[in-house]
Structure 1
Amino acid sequence: MRSDSWSDICRWNIDASEQLPSYMKIIYTGLLDVYNEIEKELANENKSFLVNYFVIEMKKLLRAYFQEAQWYHGKIIPTTEEYMKNGIPSSTYLLIATTSWLGMGKIATKDAFDWISTEPPILVAACIIARLVNDLVSHEEEQKRGDAPSAIECSMNEYGVIKEEAYMKIKSIIENYWKDLIQGYFKLTGVIPRVLLMSIIILTRVAEFLYKDEDAYTFSKNNVKDAISAILIDPII
């Protein structure tokens, strides 16, 4: 992605699409269509202003992707800390968590959105867990097809360790962030509505399920389809 293309996207205006290459124009206009559709839905509840939180998180995600593209094309392996900092938005969980609240009715107040927009520790923990469990099972395939370095490559390069040792380091980081996530939940109970906090916990559990033993997000298996069916179509009541 060219740096000027990134500036065009940040404008968040349909006119900016004229400056983009054709393949990006399709994606960009699609994003704006989603934005407009959500805004119209929320207008019925006099909450269309909340869409701005979605836009802010989308820009963070795109900025993180742009950083990964720069690393890839520049053949740069960042430090593990640099990678994890960028991994918070690139996990997509800042965006997904915030967007999920748009449909949660009156309980998701402006104050709640102001809180989640600060990237609180419980959400950061969810993001890093999601980013790292993904990396553990997908990094080899991603490197084969050509992608930015994952946490595994960053750890191997920075600490001079073999792949298996990098795995152990990453798994230890994941375990510590799970502790932060659970502690954050109990600390915030009574401050932030429990249903909103639980949405963050559940999103993290989804990531752990999808990337438990393999990249079931990219290469979906029957067990994933069965789980989704059991929850949404044939739930146990």
Structure 2
Amino acid sequence: MERIGRASHAGSWYTDNPKDLAEELDGWLVEAGLPKSSDVRGVIALHAGYSYSGLYKTPIGDLPIDLEVIEELKATGKFESMNLRVDEAEHSMEMHLPYLAKVFEGHPLKVIPILVGALSAESEAMYGKLLAKYIDDAQNFFSVSSDFCHWGSRFNYKHYDKKYETGDADAFKEYLSEYDNTICGRHPISVFLHMLRNRTTRIKIKFLRYEQSSQCKTTRDSSVSYASAAAKVDA
């Protein structure tokens, strides 16, 4: 029996009306002012509100799973299958799926979902090396999900420093070690940076935009920071 992952956050974190969602996505993509380019191999983007087989449902179309690549990854012995209940409760990737469905509308698109847990630095490097060959293939696109700093007393994090932007896996790890920043997707970001380090294609990360859920005036206030970045082939 085919297993289908529901869009469990549609209707709450984002509209479940297909027409409204398509119009909103079109508007946000235009507002972002990003040029369409086949040289972009991946993005790091937020997962705020707005299984290994079958489909992922979205209000604007269903996305099939690439079983061939998933079997290839499972054959390495480094991956485990995620059950459907856990998958549907995990909203990080779900928030990206409607964007992917919209951006790649009219093109064949298959999804390989990878949930990254609390990995050691050694495991991050290992997975980065293992996945690097896929980013060298221009047919593949990586969508890395992460909010950035969760700041304020309720998050137990109140550090402030204007210096922030690297592109190097070791520098990113040193930054996290020194400042303990509450970046929820720090492990998948680290894996992605290690992928870029081990690839044949020369790729550079550029941060595109930074926003905050609210402005903090005292440490009693709280805010979540959102940043977006693109990994583009560096000619």
TM-score, normalised via structure 2 length: 0.29
Q: Which structure shows the bigger proportion of residues in strand conformation?
A: 2
Q: Which structure shows the bigger proportion of residues in helix conformation?
A: 1
